[in-house]
Amino acid sequence: MIFSLKYLFVLASIYPIINVASHNAESGDHGHDHDDDEELGELTLKNINKAMEHVKLGEFQKFTPEDAVLWEQFTPESYKEWIPSEATDINPETGEKYKIYTGEWALEKPYMMQSLENDYGLTVKSKSRLHAISKKFDKVFNPKGKSFIIQYEVKYQEVIECAGSYLKIIRDTNPPNKENDTSIMENTFNPKEFSYKTPFTVMFGPDICGEGKVHFILNVLNPITNEYEEKKLVDPPMPRRDVTTHLYTLIIDTDNTFRILIDNSVAREGNLFTEFDPPINPPKEIPDVTAKKPEDWVDEKEIIDEAAMKPDDWDEDAPKVIEDLFSVKPKDWLENESYKIVDKSAKKPKSWDDEMDGEWEPPMIDNKKCIGVSGCGPYIRPMISNPNYKGKWTPPMIRNPKYKGEWEPPLVNNTNYYEIDNPCDLTKLAGVGIELWTVNSDIVFDNIYIGTAEEESSKYAFDIWGVKYEKEIEIEETVKFAKTDKIGKEEFNRAPSMFDIRGQILYHFYRFNGNIQTIYSTLKKHGIVEAYKVSPYTLLILVALGLYASFLLFEIKRKVINPIFSSTPKPKSKSE
């Protein structure tokens, strides 16, 4: 027993030495890159990928909404239904035909903060190109009398310089049939011909160039001209620019109100009649453009007071600034010195030709005597503002007694006036398209919902985007925690002075305990090999302690417990 305690004492006494060696081996400078320290905590691809090793991705779930005109989760099967544009145009200078949209698209998983397993998105792949792609609705959709909702996710995977990320809801151009029944209408929209010329009813989504904005544009039919007019939202909300996934939602309600939500929070709301420029309905009266201001109309508020006279004491010739007569030359002012003096050490170059180059003069250099003093050369008093300066006299302005106010042309009835009762009743719709210019690439579109049920869009906002958001926040916090964690570990690993016995005991105790917890968590996640790499010395000590404990229990059993249970009392004799 005493022999066993000696081993324990030796093991405990050499642990600090072994642990210091372990600390030096684990925290040594193995080609340490200081640039990595500067980037630690930043949302770089390298840091994000490292953080994702510690985050379990969510599961991709496929949903099937009931009231959606279009629901797109971008699977390998559904992606085939999205057709890149093949539209062409004519070069006005050469007259040659050219392809408008040369930007490429791809179905890819996001490489920046992927949050769900096997989650794909429609990805912009070309920089500084025009892009266009669209999908045709299964049948023409008439949203009249229903709420209309557009909702989708956008993810930027690099710092955005200039990029559009909006959707266009394509207007059906077929003339209405007698029954006005969309179920028997042929959808003639051709995705291959989709371009900037394709008529749309709604354009919605972020556009980041400069400060950026979230577009909401309506094309409304003018019943007088029978042409569609573009109405733009006044004071649109600002888009989000970071690398996390953001959710954009537009809800047009049947009471002619609208709401724009960003990340499931209202960013802008209002009335369709009052929040657009030009307004949905033009004004009933407009200024008469033929009217002219009457000749006798006086719109000058003030006139010159011609009765005013210049005061006798007004001196127009007084200077604006005068010499400060009370200024005194500083004591350290060197009047006999100049700021520049001849460099006496300079010599005329041997190559200097007086006939060709002129008479040589030594260069001027700064006078060292003028350094650190108030000044050199003749002292000149500074100039100050003249208290008697008034400038050129001008007569004052007085109120004009003939003033009638600002003239405005009279209002007349607007011959082009019309009134749309329900702008919320949109035109018939044939498809959805993405047509944009972008300097940046790797913009991801996903989970596009176009439909009439706010309950469905809200459900997908929580069940899909909400899960992504939580995972991305977890990744972001893991990245940002890495820097503080490193600082904390460095502080924790800083050993106290060798003369601080109490500090040394506590330091090695906490360090040993921390290593045990790290080894345990690593063992559960990655196995014995990775656990061994965390702290080989700590693991060896644990193994040694385990073996020693086993040996100690064996010795106790052999020398203490077994003799107790193996000793049986001797039988008594008859005489006893």
| pLDDT tens for each residue of 221-241 | 999 999 999 999 999 999 999
| Contacts of 150 by beta carbon, 8 Å cutoff, 6+ apart | 167, 169, 202, 204, 249, 250, 449, 450
CA distance linking residue 277 with residue 260, whole number of Å: 17
CB atoms within 10 A of CB 532: 15
Instruction: Work out the angle at residue 171's Cα, subtended by the Cα atoms of residues 167 and 176, and round it to the nearest 5 degrees.
Output: 160
Distances (CA, A) of 423 to 162, 257, 418, 519: 32, 10, 12, 65
CA distance linking residue 350 with residue 182, whole number of Å: 99
Buried b (16+ CB within 10 A) or exposed e, 307-316: eeeeeeeeee
Nearest Cα neighbor of 132 from 192, 79, 78, 75 is 192
Find out whether 476 and 470 touch, Cβ atoms under 8 Å.
no
pLDDT value at position 38? 52
pLDDT band at 490 (very low <50, low <70, confident <90, very high): low
* Average pLDDT rounded to a whole number, residues 449-476: 93
User: Token pair of 133, please?
Assistant: 């792609």
| Contacts of 396 by beta carbon, 8 Å cutoff, 6+ apart | 304, 305, 308
Confidence check: pLDDT of 343 > 50 = yes
Backbone phi, then psi, for 128, in 5-degree steps?
Answer: 50, 50
pLDDT band at 29 (very low <50, low <70, confident <90, very high): very low
pTM to 2 decimal places: 0.67
Q: Which amino acid is at 401?
A: P
Nearest Cα neighbor of 50 from 486, 529, 491, 515 is 486
Confidence check: pLDDT of 7 > 80 = no
Q: Which amino acid is at 441?
A: S
Confidence check: pLDDT of 81 > 60 = yes
pLDDT value at position 34? 47
pLDDT value at position 568? 54
pLDDT band at 436 (very low <50, low <70, confident <90, very high): very high
pLDDT value at position 562? 81
Average pLDDT of the chain? 86
Largest CA distance in the chain: 159
Nearest Cα neighbor of 149 from 64, 79, 247, 223 is 247
pLDDT band at 573 (very low <50, low <70, confident <90, very high): low
* Average pLDDT rounded to a whole number, residues 413-422: 93
Instruction: Return the percentage of the chain with pLDDT > 90, whole number.
Output: 62
* Average pLDDT rounded to a whole number, residues 474-496: 72
Nearest Cα neighbor of 153 from 72, 241, 78, 248 is 248
State the DSSP code for 30: S
Query: At the fourth CATH level, which superfamily is domain 328-380?
Result: Calreticulin/calnexin, P domain (2.10.250.10)
pLDDT value at position 493? 65
Confidence check: pLDDT of 253 > 90 = yes
Residues present in the chain in total: 576
* Residue linked to tokens 């007259």: 95
* Average pLDDT rounded to a whole number, residues 322-345: 93
Confidence check: pLDDT of 163 > 50 = yes
Confidence check: pLDDT of 269 > 50 = yes
Find out whether 110 and 155 touch, Cβ atoms under 8 Å.
yes
pLDDT value at position 40? 62
pLDDT value at position 58? 85
Q: Where in the chain are the domains?
A: 48-175+183-285+421-476, 328-380
Q: Where is 435: in which H helix or E strand?
A: strand 429-438
- As assigned by CATH, the class of the 48-175+183-285+421-476 domain is mainly beta
Query: Distance between alpha carbon 100 and the CA centroid of its chain, in Å?
Result: 30
* pLDDT tens column, 32-54: 444 555 566 677 778 887 877 77
Which of 178-182, 457-461, 538-542 is predicted least confidently?
178-182
Q: Do domains 48-175+183-285+421-476 and 328-380 have the same CATH topology?
A: no
Distances (CA, A) of 43 to 119, 444, 540: 21, 18, 37
- Helix, strand, coil distribution of the chain in percent, nearest 5: 30, 25, 45
Confidence check: pLDDT of 13 > 80 = no
User: Token pair of 542, please?
Assistant: 């644990």
Distances (CA, A) of 491 to 16, 86, 486, 495, 537: 18, 61, 9, 9, 21
* pLDDT tens column, 544-571: 888 888 888 888 888 888 888 776 555 5
